[in-house]
Structure 1
Amino acid sequence: MRRLWPILRGSLAYGAGPILGLLSGPILARALGPDGRGQFASIMEPITLAGAVASLGIPAAVAYFSAKGARAGSVYRRGIVLAIVPAVLTFIGMCIYAGEVSRQQNLPLGSLILCWAIIFPSAVIQIRRGFWQGQGRWRKLDAERFSFALLRFAVVVVLAFLGIAYAPSFALGSLAAFCVAALILWTPGSGVVFGRGRIRYAEVAKYSLGASLGTIAIVANNRLDQVLLPLVSPSRELGYYSIAVTVAEVPLIFGALAARNALHESGKGASTLQVAKAVGPFLVAAVGASAILATIAPGLVPLFFGASFVPSVASVQVLVIGTGFACISMTLISIIAGRGKPAMSSLIPLGGLLVTIAGFIYVGDAMNSTRAAYISLFSQVSALFIAILILFVFRNRPSRRGVTEIESTSLVGVINSARGK
């Protein structure tokens, strides 16, 4: 039971966010309506991508060097210093982006900038997570993740109960929940090993830049459509699309579990066939759930989100097909990374990202939720094609070292943060 509890605790912590997010989705949609739900997405979705750019792979570097025996406190401080410049530059870019979003989505510019200033504490929080990750303090990390999910859900319920229908209020409440839950990361930890090895800024920076390619590519591939959509579509269309994403990404819970196990098995030297057997049930569940959601979407969407969101049905049915491809791609990314090819695995989401950008450029101002869904589908199909191609090329080249537990957890964390709601 002692060995089983950490697994159950981690699964509960990782699953709480998506599950409670799904439960709060209808509450949020009915409280704000299509326009308000679109405004909420305009505020919240860019934060995940901006956070990945602002932290620039530094949390993974802090986790890695801490685990390798460097002075954990020293690595943590170096990470904070190195994060200052990318965080400031990212915030400046967000302020420029905010002007157009404010105009297109009819949101106060001040509210956008206030919400997006979260990237500064977010960078610090992510680096602090890396500190504890390097120490292997999973209980503290699980507690923080679970607390955030509960607080965010409570914020949505309370604001909806009070009859508040202003998107920035829900956004600020959710971000406040994020910061409050993160305080757990600054509580004392027993048995912390601070290490004695010295580490230079250059070493941390080099590792961070290498890790950032995959981190940013994965997050961007899964969020860029919702970052670009506010620039070319009205809030109502973004609201429809946000609801569609919420429903269509439910099967990704199984995809994340498949990716986690695939990374572990591949890192141990298992063949592709052996990995497929190990994660097959998760992928079958993901594809089955996708098929069920596509079938019941016409009745499910108006029942849970209200009749005003019926236009989301077509987007749900398109996106949920892409979810099936995405679950397989996530698994293949893990297999390739587990074979010691993390940079090569980054080409998979990068290829999907390029398809997304090309699609938005091609459609331009004619963009709506359904067209955005089709672009997302093409992106996922392209990413899967690239993944299969890379896997075929390196089928006879297993890793000589695999991945460490720290690298494994980092990749799964990126996938979850990119996909989580």
Structure 2
Amino acid sequence: MAADRMTIGRRDHLLNAVASLLVPAASLLSAPLLARALGPTARGEFTVEQSLILTASSLFGLGISDIVATRWQAFSARHRLRLAYLNVGSALVFSGAGLVYLASAVSPSVLVMGLCLIAGGVFAAALAERGIALSRDDLRGVAAEKLLVVTSRLALTVMAFAFGVLDLTVALVTLVLPQCVGLAYLRVRRWQAQKAASFRPCTAGLGGRLDWWTVLGGSGGVLLVNGIPLVALAAIGPTEVGYFSVCILIAEVFTLVAKPFRDATFTSPYASDWSKLRRLTWSTLAVLVGIGLLASAVMWFAVPLVFGSDFVPAVPAAYVMIIAGVLKGWGYQLNGALTVKGDHRVRAVSTYSAVVVNVLLLFLFAAGGAAGAALACTLAYAVMAGWSAVSLFVSSPKKPEDTTP
């Protein structure tokens, strides 16, 4: 019954690259609409709820997605069912625990809590479904799902804003509903592939074991990016988190700028040549610093212009977060270079060290509100980038691993 796996062409890679870039770009486009419609306090609550959903679904979901992407076709039906229970079950447990914490902090409505709980399971299932699609080389399906989700989410947000109904509950619906559609799309493609027997068992990839340092590095990144607003809620309150959400978006811009450089890191010209990889990494920093200087010149009027006059108090924090954005973007590139070198342990340790520093400093600088939170993030990203840079350039400046088969 087994047949050849799907063929991946250049168009598939291009489509996936475009879709991957559109995901954060669409978030940046919808953020001003959410800020203007919700105001600082409700925007802060939405940021925390979104953080809860993404953290709960990704903490184990990313590792499980890696597992199924490389070994799904070799698993028995019982083992597949066990993985599904672990994936969705862990997300629901984390979501439930987070909602208990959230209820004590901001008292969300029952409907909002229900949406968050459902979203945790749906997002986790979608992560696993993408891994299953990749196990049969269905890169086109994964890219199409990303485009479907991101365009429908942006369209729903724009329509809700235009009709004046974009409140906290509707904002969560615009987050969850498109992902439900994307999950259904991937499930239909899997059913069609199984019906046509158009794939064979996967034999490439990680083999019989999973590199848990890689998984830990990914989960550390999840906590550092998505988990911090949960801690910030306890430290500075929902209104200041609303101002801080502007800072998070600013840092995301720098990650978006660094993404093409990081993607290039894994291509053969750089992955096999240490001197080229080193130049690429330093070039990334130079570009990020240049973007940071440009941002510094316009930030004082850009924040109220884009997000509304209610967010003027976020301007000082935004200036601090420019430095954090540069460090975050460079750390993103450095972690890619460490992965190419095979230093997965360093990546995991650097990200978890940054998480610990960030959490501690959030409470230490709580009196500073959003600006204090931005300073905590800046120092945490400095720890991550500094640790990674020392390991890459000083401690063991060896050549990248030869990944050519």
Structure 1, unmatched stretches of 5+, are: 198-202, 405-421
- Match for residue 210 of structure 2? 207
**Is 1:224 matched up with 2:227?**
yes
Check whether the contact 1:269–1:339 (CA below 8 A) recurs between aligned residues. no
- Match for residue 44 of structure 1? 50
Structure 1: which amino acid aligns with 2:307? Answer: F
**Is 1:63 matched up with 2:64?**
no
1:51 CA drift (Å): 1.2
Q: Structure 2 vs 1, CA of residues 278 and 80 (structure 1 numbering), >3 Å: closer, same or farther? A: farther
| Structure 1 segment 246-265 matched on structure 2, within 5 A | 246-265=249-268
Query: C-alpha distance in 1, partners of 2:87/2:20?
Result: 28
Alignment equivalent of 1:194, drawn from 193, 200, 211: 200
Q: Structure 2 vs 1, CA of residues 53 and 154 (structure 1 numbering), >3 Å: closer, same or farther? A: same
**TM-superposition CA deviations, 1:150-196 (whole Å, max 9, x none):** 01101111111221242122112211111112322122347842228
TM-score, structure 1 as length reference = 0.84
- Match for residue 136 of structure 1? 137
Q: Structure 2 vs 1, CA of residues 279 and 389 (structure 1 numbering), >3 Å: closer, same or farther? A: closer
Q: Structure 2 vs 1, CA of residues 266 and 351 (structure 1 numbering), >3 Å: closer, same or farther? A: farther
Q: Structure 2 vs 1, CA of residues 278 and 384 (structure 1 numbering), >3 Å: closer, same or farther? A: closer
Check whether the contact 1:95–1:113 (CA below 8 A) recurs between aligned residues. no
Alignment equivalent of 1:16, drawn from 11, 17, 22: 22
1:28 CA drift (Å): 1.2
Q: Secondary structure at the match of 2:272?
A: coil
- Match for residue 99 of structure 1? 100
Alignment equivalent of 2:288, drawn from 283, 286, 289: 286
1:144 CA drift (Å): 0.7
TM-score, structure 2 as length reference = 0.87
| Structure 1 segment 25-174 matched on structure 2, within 5 A | 25-55=31-61, 57-66=63-72, 70-71=73-74, 74=75, 78-85=79-86, 87-174=88-175
- Match for residue 416 of structure 1? none
- Match for residue 409 of structure 1? none
Structure 1: which amino acid aligns with 2:265? Answer: A
Query: C-alpha distance in 1, partners of 2:19/2:78?
Result: 27
1:378 CA drift (Å): 0.2
CA RMSD of aligned residues (A): 2.9
1:42 CA drift (Å): 1.8
1:46 CA drift (Å): 1.6
Q: Which moved more, 1:355-364 or 1:367-376?
A: 355-364
Query: C-alpha distance in 2, partners of 1:65/1:27?
Result: 42
Q: Secondary structure at the match of 1:250?
A: helix
**TM-superposition CA deviations, 1:202-227 (whole Å, max 9, x none):** x87x5275543122111111222212
Percentage of identical aligned residues? 19
Q: Which moved more, 1:230-239 or 1:321-330?
A: 230-239
Structure 2, unmatched stretches of 5+, are: 1-7
Check whether the contact 2:41–2:238 (CA below 8 A) recurs between aligned residues. yes
Query: C-alpha distance in 2, partners of 1:324/1:195?
Result: 42
Structure 2: which amino acid aligns with 1:175? Answer: V
1:50 CA drift (Å): 1.1
Check whether the contact 2:265–2:271 (CA below 8 A) recurs between aligned residues. no
- Match for residue 338 of structure 1? 340
Q: Which moved more, 1:328-337 or 1:107-116?
A: 107-116
Q: Secondary structure at the match of 1:164?
A: coil
Query: C-alpha distance in 2, partners of 1:358/1:321?
Result: 19
1:282 CA drift (Å): 4.7
Alignment equivalent of 2:324, drawn from 314, 322, 325: 322
Query: C-alpha distance in 1, partners of 2:137/2:285?
Result: 29
Check whether the contact 1:125–1:182 (CA below 8 A) recurs between aligned residues. yes
Check whether the contact 2:59–2:222 (CA below 8 A) recurs between aligned residues. no
Structure 2: which amino acid aligns with 1:301? Answer: V
- Match for residue 348 of structure 1? 350
- Stretches (4+) displaced over 6 A: none
Query: C-alpha distance in 1, partners of 2:78/2:341?
Result: 32
Check whether the contact 1:155–1:174 (CA below 8 A) recurs between aligned residues. no
Q: Secondary structure at the match of 1:117?
A: helix
Check whether the contact 1:267–1:339 (CA below 8 A) recurs between aligned residues. no
1:355 CA drift (Å): 0.8
Aligned residues: 391
**Is 1:241 matched up with 2:244?**
yes
Check whether the contact 1:355–1:379 (CA below 8 A) recurs between aligned residues. yes
